Structure 1
């Protein structure tokens, strides 16, 4: 672990390298920070062991291990390696079976030392959708999707400063998708090189093409084709001493095609050279005509024709039938698709494997079979010629539907089984979506795949599949349902504009279905979302547009209780939005009216029995109570929301609600001084699987809670994850991230680590000088640090504005902290109005265990009451605020100051200055 940290790998890269979770990596890094007693990840990297060999540590190439030796092609290897040294994108082009993949693997191994940040191999054979190329590459690199960014953006961020080589194999079936992906990737990653294999050029302007020729056929002892035949034939255990001229003739008739030669060599133990020669002489096995490139292709087809002709009719039929599988398959799966008994199919698969037409692999899930891509394509053509394609694909579709339905009902361990069949589900969906008679099954498969990929955290694909299901739905009501789910997934992805588009489409579909109340709910929910999730929208909706949505919803709602509740909620959200944006402050009449609207929405949604609608209403009520200044009631309401969602079904909409609710509950705990509760909710948020790859969102409030509580080790460890994920996400400057960045910067300031503090302040500066930073969290964290350094007058100046002047920016989380620290700064700075400010602060912070203890401590200092002062240390300990407890002891002076200084040192903080 330490060595990989020293190589400057991210947590995600370390997790992929060691086949462990990102959370496990974080735990190990945290342990190393403590055991080696270093302050941060940069210092930890400096403690990494020096590599044995000279030069920097290099990650091992992630290349499949060849099962047989690579024969010949010395010239091609050298040429292709040279091209990779001069060009950033090289495509090895040639017909199927010529040996492009093996050549690419050999060359990648040869040049691996030139790419210090890694070499990765990506097999694109299973990818049938051009839009999933980036997902396949991300999977090979061990990267997951990041809400708010598509896969191509996430990859570009991960590889932006890497000197690495990607090998993209079998690009031909998704050439357009590969070309688009490469244009984006290489433009964003100037040190990444790509070696692609394809049957045709990718037709991108920066591409350099290396035609892969057949194996050399020289008969002077340097024939690569003959050498390959001899080695593969000898592998079957029969002594081989044939006349070289006869082997050279066979290889020549096969045009030096590697696949054809290997298939011919596999027949040597049973047919001998004479039998092979005779089989190749059959006119039906040899196709002629066309260009030279076509000749090469047809020579492979000739070898496959010949191999196919040697099979019994039943085995030929089985080979055709299993060609529909895009991924490895079992005997049971093949039996279902073939419509035959498992015993018969098992024997047939064994014979096909013996004929080298199937690859057999022993896995923890049992024996699996796979046809090489060229053979699979050949068998699919035979299936079409036999007029069996639609029938077999229909059986494959039914098998996929059954697997998908079974997976959706399984428990926690279904994900590995999903990965095994995912490519088949996608292939079946792609075929069935184009068949009018299969439209119903295609719709159901798209819905299943959308649900499975969502839980599998492939949320970009999940949204795509829900939209595809909507397009395939046989009635507008089903389409509306799918579109609502798609909108919820878009919300999880931080794609507010997609939420808007999909909700509007759902409303339109509901209208076509004659469901006026459903359309009303969609329009009202859309208006509410524009208020609740404002930060997720790239386009800010004008107030008149949202007002129009509410008006349309009102017209359609009729007497339906759920629609009326949705409209009431939209109106409550609009009222809160108008009140917050008002320049008139918080007139009591306006406060009461706004709260009443929100409470009415809560009651109406409660009556509907829909937990998600009720959660949305509680969210608006929580925001309203916070705006009104009732932090404790707001926190209680946020807790009710979590309880409500705990029993909700695990749908995209429920997941979206839960993620938002956990963040809101953590914020509420911080605002009321409930640090244990804030940590609990924030930890649940950080551990949510949907946020595994977006640590900056996942750990945001956990960092704030730990910083305010004085858990320095947790802040340092979480800060590493936050910064790593933030950079991989492309350095987003969302205002919601500001408190976490300021919290980590403050902790480094408390440790007197000025370099680290400046690094985090530079990140914070990228977010701009927002009012929240000026008057809210920024003032709180600045005051904390200034007071620690004994600079009370500066802390007082930093919190000079009256709370009523900056209420918009200090309500919700920061009001109690602001007021309490302001009161303490007033006392320590010797201000004449300290007594009045303490009285005001005591009233405002009443009930807050941390802020109230800060005010109590300040008054004890003013009165020089050591007994009361020391009592606050116990209060801080009980509230889970170790930093403030240690600070109290230092302020108490004498022997208590010694104990407090030791406690600060144990936390990893610098000594505190006293007035």
Structure 2
């Protein structure tokens, strides 16, 4: 218990697991509570302990008493009632999942497939080293959302550059786990496609599915779930449920009970409903009710077939309702997620007080499940009952009216979520499935097209705020397809392109911008079309590393040519064309020429013109994009400090803008650039500040490898060893969960971690990270840029100055375009120091040249001063360099400088290295 805080025992449990760095999903599974309840406890702890966030909360946690069972906790919903009988079925199904990788438990609705699957999964949990995972597909109405449901159960989020199916498959690729997919019948084709991909890629995963029909895939093994045995299990279930409501039955009544269960076809749901009515009807009343003709399904469509064994129970239960309760049951069947009495009143078109009484009546008859939530009492219809109610809506001729009211309720809910509050996430999650279901219905009805467009647009915005970027992009594209105005369609396509940018899916960015140009042209807005065409061309070069299939340069050039004439004198279109010219034309006709004819003045002039035109538009995002081009041009020209200044201007420009897909995409890009530019200019503290902001950006919360790669690089150069060791574990886990993408962005971080392990003399760990680097691939940037810097720092630490000098043999001018970015000054300074330590005859000349290049860079200049002090044996100058490193925040370089200073200072430096967890510096080859 935390002293001074009024923390409940349950909150204390949650706090301990937060301190053990478990996710909300893992905490919920460990404590057998919902994720929503975990979020509520975490919010309460933040308030009570007066801490700003989860990281600070974890620091307040007591030392865990032991947070790891021998096997991962099974993520299965807790059973609220006992499981009765089915001993032979459990044994048979258990043997099947041992022998086959995909088993489908098939049977009619209400027969007990889910309960049987959960019982088997719970018993088998110890056989699976990586646990058992349960996914309820009831709320999923779109086959495209199956992977999102599975990823949610696994605790995954969006992975930029991957769809959710790929993310789920990557997470399970090397796991030995059992995945339970419940209620697959309405998504059979989508589930089949998902399972084909999952099982082909995840050799140690077993899938147990429940469905009312076979999935019809070749690798499927079907287990028909029989009705409850009438002489044992069915009667035992009835008696247990009747006793639970306070009316135990005497054994002599077993024959009468068996007759009732036989009339109910041994369907578990029907039996439970009958038992729930026993206190008010008695066995005679139940028998009389069952004597009424019971309509049974006899063939027909697939949708009808899945009801044929439970319709008797549901028709009987429905017949016992008052007319008003019947109407209420069928009208609330439009809700997919739990709903309140107020929501039901709106959709049912009745007074809230009357509706509340009706909901209570339906709940008493087990037709609705009642739960308490922070927002009040909520109700939920089981899926079979919800579908039954929908059929009754059709029969009553009320379906369109009820769904229309539900659609308008969803529109109002979506509008109310536009204001983000502290509880926004929970409020969105409560209604998200209803929003999706309403949109799915409205999208196919021409008379609801306007409302469908509005809801698709709102859902796109909401899912983006919820960081479901993959769905957000799809919803923007859906809104574009539903828009009746081509101008609105173009706007939605631009938003979709921006979200694709946040996901680092360059192919989609390019495709969607071109589609936006077509829509703008159809609306008669030629300038808008010109801007879209030019932006598409820019995307192909500005974000080229995010493409799977990069468009040919000729295609991008053709887009610019096509955009020029319709751009006219429109400021935004002119700015977009100028930016495309700065990006594409320079690359096409300048970069390829190499150092002698690199057209640096032309490159900078084009970029500056793009900035000026963008500034005239008054659009901060257009100006930020143009400033990005200018940073590239300044880098190309080797102007390190101008590059850093321009990068900071972008941050200032973007920091105060409201959240939007385009703004988020620009800000994420700008944070990465300013981190690197600051590091190149020697502002390592500033670089770490930006890198930390990037790592903490909520849009990157689930992609740790992308979020933290620059922070790892900065921490390594600063000598923040503990931060590198901690961050590298999370980086590697996130990278592997994402499918180990070979992204060039990640290479410097991996090289930096390998260097730190080298400085620690942890050869095994260094080899492991070198293997990761090999998987990512090497490049000229590695050979002459970051790779040379990290390698030489390690070689100098080991006293291998001649090897360090050989590693940096190329003159900076020779490989200028690979070291002119953030590594130029580091390369020049370290090369000069290596020359001094290796007793190179031109060491003094190299120092003089280096001093000129790195002037005003506090870190690189301190390196040069340290090298000069070594050459001149000037201890005072050496200590001055140490002070400069200390001021800059470079802990490793400070400790190294003190060791090189000799005498008592060397002892202090050695102690500082030990405090960092690094190995002692070796004696110099050439002292």
| TM-score (norm. length: structure 1) | 0.94
Distance 2:456 2:798 in 1: 60
Given candidates 246, 256, 263, the residue that maps to 1:246 is: 256
- Distance between the aligned counterparts of 2:579 and 2:422, measured in 1? 36
Instruction: Name the stretch that deviates more: 572-581 or 559-568.
Output: 572-581
Select 1:463's aligned residue among 463, 473, 485. Answer: 473
Residue 409 and residue 881 in structure 1: after superposition, are their counterparts in 2 closer, same or farther (change >3 A)?
Answer: same
Q: Do structure 1's residue 572 and structure 2's residue 582 form an aligned pair?
A: yes
Q: 1:253 to 1:790 in 2, by over 3 A?
A: same
Question: In 2, Cα distance between the equivalents of 1:250 and 1:124?
Answer: 32
How far apart are residue 14 of structure 1 and its match?
5.7
Match of 1:914 in 2: 923
SS of the residue 1:699 aligns to: helix
* Equivalent runs, 1:169-184 vs 2, <5 Å: 169-184=182-197
Residues 1:806 and 2:795 aligned together: no
8 Å contact from structure 1 (residues 257, 296) kept in 2: no
Tell me, what secondary structure is at the counterpart of 1:648?
coil
Tell me the equivalent position of 1:440. Answer: 450
The Cα of 1:352 is off from its aligned counterpart by: 0.8
Say if 2:88 is the partner of 1:75. yes
RMSD: 2.4
Q: For the residues of structure 2 that align with 1:345 and 1:330, how far apart are their CA atoms?
A: 10
Which residue, out of 106, 113, 131, partners 1:93?
A: 106
Match of 1:559 among 545, 566, 569: 569
Q: Aligned equivalents of 2:557 and 2:847: distance in 1?
A: 44
1:165 and 2:174 matched: no
**Whole-angstrom CA distance in 2 between matches of 1:27 and 1:741:** 27
Report the CA distance between 1:556 and its aligned residue. 1.1
Q: Deviations over 1:456-504 (max 9, x none)?
A: 1111111111111111011111111111111111111111111111111
Aligned 1:658-669 pairs, distance under 5 A: 658-669=667-678
Name which of 477, 485, 498 aligns with 2:487. Answer: 477
Structure 1 position 191, deviation (Å)? 0.7
TM superposition shift of 1:649: 2.6
Alignment partners' CA distance in 2, 1:438 and 1:626: 53
For 1:828-848, what per-residue CA distance to the aligned partner results, in whole angstroms no more than 9, with x for missing partners?
A: 111111111111100110110
Equivalence for 1:652 = 661
Pick closer, same or farther for the CA change 1:295–1:876 going to 2, 3 Å: closer
Query: Aligned equivalents of 1:366 and 1:586: distance in 2?
Result: 73
Q: Partner of 1:767 in structure 2?
A: 776
User: Does the CA contact (< 8 Å) of 1:517 and 1:560 recur in 2?
Assistant: yes
Tell me: CA distance 1:16–1:502, structure 2 relative to 1, closer, same or farther (3 Å): farther
1:534 is aligned to 2:547: no
2:3 maps to what in 1? none
What's the CA shift for 1:586?
A: 5.1
Q: Answer yes or no: is 1:66 the counterpart of 2:79.
A: yes
**Once the two structures are superposed, what CA deviation does each residue of 1:671-700 show, in whole Å capped at 9, x if it has no partner?**
001001100110011001111121111111
Using the TM superposition, give the Cα deviation of residue 765 of structure 1 relative to its aligned residue in structure 2, in angstroms.
1.3
Q: Is residue 2:208 matched to residue 1:192?
A: no
In the aligned structure 1, how far is the partner of 2:855 from the partner of 2:27?
Answer: 46
Aligned equivalent of 1:399: 409
Aligned to 2:49: none
1:544-571 per-position Cα deviation (integer Å, ceiling 9, x unaligned): 1111111111021011111111111111
The Cα of 1:287 is off from its aligned counterpart by 3.2
Tell me the distance in 2 between the aligned counterparts of 1:372 and 1:650. Answer: 38
User: 1:647 offset after TM fit, Å?
Assistant: 2.1
Q: TM-score, normalised by structure 2?
A: 0.93
- Give yes or no for contact 1:488–1:656 (8 Å, CA) kept in 2: yes
Tell me if structure 1 keeps the 8 A contact 2:913–2:920: yes
- Relative to structure 1, the CA distance from residue 295 to residue 325 in structure 2 (aligned partners, 3 Å threshold; closer, same or farther) is closer
Q: CA deviation at 1:587?
A: 4.7
Matched, 1:742 2:755: no
Query: Does the Cα contact within 8 Å between 2:582 and 2:603 map onto a contact in 1?
Result: yes
Superposition map of 1:581-600 within 5 A: 581-585=591-595, 587=597, 590-600=599-609
Match of 2:45 in 1: none
Indicate conservation of the 8 Å contact 2:239/2:248, yes or no.
Answer: no
* C-alpha separation in 2, matches of 1:13 and 1:755: 34
Pick closer, same or farther for the CA change 1:143–1:616 going to 2, 3 Å. same
Pairwise CA distance, 1:27: 8.4
Q: Is the 8 A contact 1:612 1:648 kept in 2?
A: no
Q: Distance in 1 between matches of 2:747 and 2:95?
A: 48
C-alpha contact 1:666 1:678 (8 A) present in aligned 2: yes
Residue correspondence of structure 1 range 20-169 to structure 2 within 5 A? 57-169=70-182
Q: Is the 8 A contact 2:109 2:309 kept in 1?
A: no
Q: Is the 8 A contact 1:318 1:338 kept in 2?
A: yes
Contact 1:788 1:913 in 2 (8 A): yes
Displacement, 1:297? 4.3
Counterpart of 1:699? Answer: 708
Tell me, in whole angstroms, the C-alpha distance in 1 between the residues paired with 2:142 and 2:286: 40
Q: Does 1:851 align with 2:864?
A: no
1:238 is displaced (CA, Å) by: 2.6
Indicate if the aligned counterparts of 2:121 and 2:132 stay in contact, CA closer than 8 A: yes
Separation (CA, whole Å) in 2 of partners of 1:888 and 1:31: 37
Provide the secondary structure at the position in 1 that maps to 2:367: coil
Partner of residue 651, structure 2: 642
1:356 matched to 2:369: no
After TM superposition, the structure 1 stretch with the greater mean CA deviation from structure 2, 514-523 or 14-23, is 14-23
State the distance in 1 between where 2:591 and 2:553 align: 11
Is this contact kept in 2: 1:14–1:25, CA < 8 A?
no
Contact kept in structure 2, 1:580 and 1:627, CA below 8 Å:
no
- Residue 330 of structure 2 corresponds to residue 305 of structure 1: no
What is the aligned counterpart of 2:731 among 702, 722, 734? 722
| Secondary structure at the counterpart of residue 417 of structure 2 | helix
CA-CA distance at 1:335 after TM superposition = 0.8
Deviations 1:230-280 (A, max 9, x none): 111122213423622221111111111111111111111111111111111
Q: Aligned-pair distance for 1:66?
A: 1.1
2:242, 2:248 within 8 Å by CA — same for their partners in 1? no
Asked if the contact 1:121–1:166 (Cα under 8 Å) also holds between the matched residues in 2, the reply is: yes
Query: What SS class does the counterpart of residue 629 from structure 1 fall into?
Result: coil
What are the residue-to-residue correspondences of 1:779-798 with 2, within 5 Å? 779-798=788-807
- Is residue 322 from structure 1 mapped to residue 332 from structure 2 by the alignment? yes
Cα 1:50–1:568 shift into 2, 3 Å = closer
Deviation at 1:100? 0.7
- CA gap of 1:430–1:114, structure 2 versus 1, over 3 A, is same
2:436 to 426, 431, 438: 426
SS in 1 for 2:583: helix
Q: CA deviation at 1:116?
A: 1.9
Does the CA-based 8 Å contact 1:61-1:119 persist in structure 2?
A: yes
C-alpha separation between the residues in 2 aligned to 1:412 and 1:424?
Answer: 21
Distance 1:579 1:891, change over 3 A: farther
Residue 237 (structure 1) aligned with residue 250 (structure 2): no
Where in structure 2 are there 5+ consecutive unaligned residues?
Answer: 1-12, 43-51
1:50 to 1:257, Cα distance in 2 relative to 1, 3 A: closer
CA positional deviation for 1:201? 0.3
Shift of 1:296: 9.2
Query: Alpha-carbon deviation of 1:594?
Result: 1.6
Aligned length: 888
Shift of 1:767: 2.4
Question: How far apart in 2 are the matches of 1:10 and 1:361?
Answer: 26
Alignment of 1:540-555 (within 5 A): 540-555=550-565
Residue in 2 that maps onto 1:368: 378
Query: CA 1:597–1:151 in structure 2 vs 1: closer, same or farther (change >3 Å)?
Result: same
Query: Distance in 2 between the 1:239 and 1:722 partners?
Result: 58
Match of 1:43 in 2: none
Change (3 A) 1:666 1:586: farther
Query: How much does 1:454 deviate?
Result: 1.0
Whether 1:415 and 2:454 are equivalent positions in the alignment is: no
